[in-house]
Every structure is written in structure tokens, then in C-alpha cells.
Amino acid sequence: MTVTSGGVSDQTLWRAPRLTRPVDAEISVPGSKSLTNRYLVLAALADGPCLIRRPLHSRDSALMVDALRALGAVIEDVPGDGGFGPDLRVVPLPAGPGPAVDRAVDCGLAGTVMRFVPPLAGLVTGSTRFDGDPHARRRPMGSIIAALRGLGVTVDDDGSGALPFTVEGDGHVRGGRLVVDASASSQFVSALLLVGARFAEGLHLEHVGKPVPSLDHVRMTVRTLRSLGVDVDDSVPDLWRVSPGPIAAFDVAVEPDLSNAGPFLAAALVTGGTVRVRNWPDGTTQVGDAWRRILPLMGAEATLADGVLTVTGGPSIAGGTFADTSELAPTVAALCALADSPSTLTGIAHLRGHETDRLAALVAEITALGGDAEETADGLTIRPAPLHGGVFRTYDDHRMATAGAIIGLAVDGVEVENIGTTAKTLPEFPALWTALTGSAGTPGAADGQGRA
């Protein structure tokens, strides 16, 4: 897996394509980040070699591959049928104690790497030092560090509850009962559940604290584990039991990333056009399936038929109240900034601990373009206001970059900083966006139908 574009600050400006005509496009998007990185972790823990078909190839998945290789998994590209790169064959980590090795894992800015991999480092012998991009050191990690200690694993850190830290593994994790505060990230729960079956006593995990955000991602973890024969009981809120046992070797195809489909679907609303996304699953655990509910609330039509999601924008974008939009929030916020009525986004306080403080970043950048946005305790309020061009800063956050591109469709002269940061989960974004905006035809062909 090779991804050349990095996530480290780059001030290059990208002139966002501006459209006054409706888009009319059918696209495919690459594989889900959340599913690819879960399958990679589970393959490294499985009871035999695994095949991951149509995986995402992006910075976050490349970092996961490198992390698991550092721990001892063998991961190789094999030819696949997907249009976005090879499949991955994974030979799991050797089981049990082995020779002590000193390793380093670069987490970049990937939440899935910094949260999912440290528990695995307890299952191999030796020291594993975890670090990442400058902003990665500001993402919450204290609950993972405390959880590992609660499981009997030694962690050397500076007490800040953040990267960097070193996990000292001896090839064996006792497991058993554990209490965590997962209010800062659902990934704390997912990280422990993914590995729990490989702990000697399994895992009996309890969350105590403010509500766990992004619970859909925890449900994705539970469903994925069950599909591989792992016994998980999640019948009581905030309690999860994982029985000790094997994780069955598997051969799976990864669904397209429905969250990353969002900006393309948003283009249908912004231009009053139509966007079709291929291979939309009939049933899925991805949070991005919520586009089928959210976009109609904003005035669009959304129809899923024969594996294609078709979204057609209405005459204008309606604002509204949107709860628990999780990683979809920056895309929703960009649409709200272009809406003709006020909007409130709730249940997203934890976005302050994402790739950047997304609430502050969205308010700063929407306001810089003349918009009217403010933070609330757990989200955003965005009111209609005429926008003008300018620089849209992105803070090494892929979803800020795509939010800027969405606004730029409707506003003259928007320049998005570091569009390359989209490589975190979608290196193909600039090319796909160019193809999408090219689909709006030649100037004059459909004037008057799109939104000026």
C-alpha cells in the first residue's frame, strides 16, 4: 500500500471549482476507512491468513498497515477487481510471547491507528513507542492508556493523557473487567472490543461518564466482530462483554466509504443537480448511510435502487436541526452555511478532539467567508448570510478541506488550503471533484437551472 501525499501542514491554495450549472454525475468512491482499518486489525488477530478486497488505500489505512507490520503481521498487496488499488492479504501476528523487539508506530493523525493499535502492542513482546503528527499529540488518549494499565499492561507516558507513549508488551494480556470513560471518543470502546477476544479472560467493559459519542461506530465494531464468530454481548447500555476465543480468518469485500460520498452528494444540493453513487450497500453499519435521511431534510430527493443512491437537489437548501452527525458534521455544516434558513447541529462536542477542533475551525472559516456561525456547548448554530470568496483554512483536516470545496461550488473565489490533506481518507478527492464538476457541462448549456 503506497500513499505519497502526507497530512503535515501545507499552505498551498487550491481554487475550488465554482459552478452555476447543475452537476449530473455517477461516481464510485473508494472503500470505507472505518471498515478497512477494523478488518486490518482483526486480520492481524485472526486464526489464519485473511483477504481484504477493495480496501481503502489512503494515508490512514497505510499508517495502519505499517503499524501492524511493525508488530509482526505480514501484509501484502495482491491484484484485485476494485478500481482504487490492490487487495490486501494479511498473515496475522505470531501468537504468544516472542523475542523482545523495540518498535515505533507512526499514528499520523489517524484516530483509528492511535486508539486501535496500542492494545495489540500488549499482545506482542517488546516495547512499542506511539507518536504522530503535531496535532495528534493533542487528541485524547488518556482512556486508552488507563485501560491498558487496568488490563495489566505497562505503559510509559508523561502523564498528559496524550501521545507519545510506549507500551511494554509480554505477549499476554489478562483482560477481564475494565471501566473506561469513553465520552471523548467511541474509538476507546471499539479499540478494546476489537482485541478483547484475544485477552485471556476476554473483556467485560463498562463505560462511566458522559454519553459515548458516535455509537454507530461501536455498533459497527460489534457487528463486525460477530460476523467473524466472536461472542459479544451489548444488550445493556454502556456495558460490553467479549468472550475469549478465536477470531475466524476471513475473506471480505469492503463497502465504499459512505461518509466520503457525502461531499459529492452535497454537490447535488448546492447546484440543484443529480449525483449517483454506485455500490451503495442495502444494509450497512456505516454512519454515512444517514445521508439518505439527512439530505431529504435539507430539500433533496434521495432514492436507493439497484445498488445506486441517487440524490437530486431541490430549488434551495433548507436548514434544520441535525443531531449526532458524527464525522458527517463538517459536510452538513458546509451545506448549512449555504442554506436559506437557520440550522443547529447538536451532539458533536467531541469534535473538538478530532483532527482539529472542528467546531472552532468551522466557525472560523465560515465566518471568514462572511457567514454567520457560532459554537454552542455541544455543536454549532449556523444562520443564513451572504458569503464571499477568500481562503478556507483546513488545519490538516480532510473534512475541513471537503467542506471548503462544497462552499466553493456556490461562492466565487474560495481557495482551499492544503487540499492534499484529503489523502487522509480519500487521496482521489481532487480528481473525483474535478470529474464531478466537469459533469456540469459547458457554460450556458444549462444556465438558469443551477444555483448562481
Ligand X SMILES: O=C(O)C1=C[C@@H](OP(=O)(O)O)[C@@H](O)[C@H](O)C1
Ligand Y SMILES: C=C(OP(=O)(O)O)C(=O)O
Q: Which residues are catalytic?
A: 327
Q: What is the largest CA-CA distance in the chain?
A: 69
365 contact, one of ligand X, ligand Y, none, CB 5-8 Å limit per kind: none
171: exposed, middle or buried (Cβ count in 10 Å: 0-12, 13-18, 19+): middle
State the minimum distance, in angstroms, from the CB of residue 444 to ligand X.
Answer: 41
Q: Does 217 bind ligand X (CB under 6 A)?
A: yes
> Measured between alpha carbons, how far is 365 from 231 in angstroms, rounded to an integer?
45
Nearest residue (CB) to ligand X, 61 versus 214:
214
Contacts of 110 (CB under 8 A, 6+ apart): 37, 59, 60, 63, 64, 132, 424
Share of the chain residues as helix, strand and coil, in percent rounded to the nearest 5: 35, 25, 45
> Measured between alpha carbons, how far is 245 from 44 in angstroms, rounded to an integer?
15
Closest CA to 451 of 296, 300, 272, 319: 272
Task: Give me the helix-helix angle, 398-410 and 358-368, nearest 10°.
Answer: 20
φ, ψ of residue 253 to 5 degrees: the values are -110, 135
Among 125, 187, 312, 437, binds ligand X (CB under 6 A): 187
Nearest residue (CB) to ligand Y, 221 versus 425:
425
State the minimum distance, in angstroms, from the CB of residue 421 to ligand X.
Answer: 14
Residues numbered 331 to 350 that lie near ligand X (CB under 6 A) are: 350
Q: Does 216 bind ligand Y (CB under 6 A)?
A: no
Q: How many residues bind ligand X (CB under 6 A)?
A: 13
Residues numbered 309 to 328 that lie near ligand Y (CB under 6 A) are: 327
213 contact, one of ligand X, ligand Y, none, CB 5-8 Å limit per kind: ligand X
- What are the beta bridge partners of residue 127? 102, 168
State the minimum distance, in angstroms, from the CB of residue 314 to ligand X.
Answer: 28
Q: Does 354 bind ligand Y (CB under 6 A)?
A: yes
Residues numbered 395 to 434 that lie near ligand Y (CB under 6 A) are: 399, 425
Among 58, 112, 224, 331, binds ligand X (CB under 6 A): 112
From the CB of residue 34, how many other CB atoms can be counted at a distance below 10 Å? 31
Nearest residue (CB) to ligand Y, 64 versus 249:
64
State the pairing for strand pair 251-253/50-53: parallel
Among 213, 256, 379, 420, binds ligand X (CB under 6 A): 213
One character per residue 72-111, x = contact with ligand X (rule: CB under 6 A): ---------------------------------------x
Which positions touch ligand Y (CB under 6 A)? 110-112, 327, 354-355, 399, 425
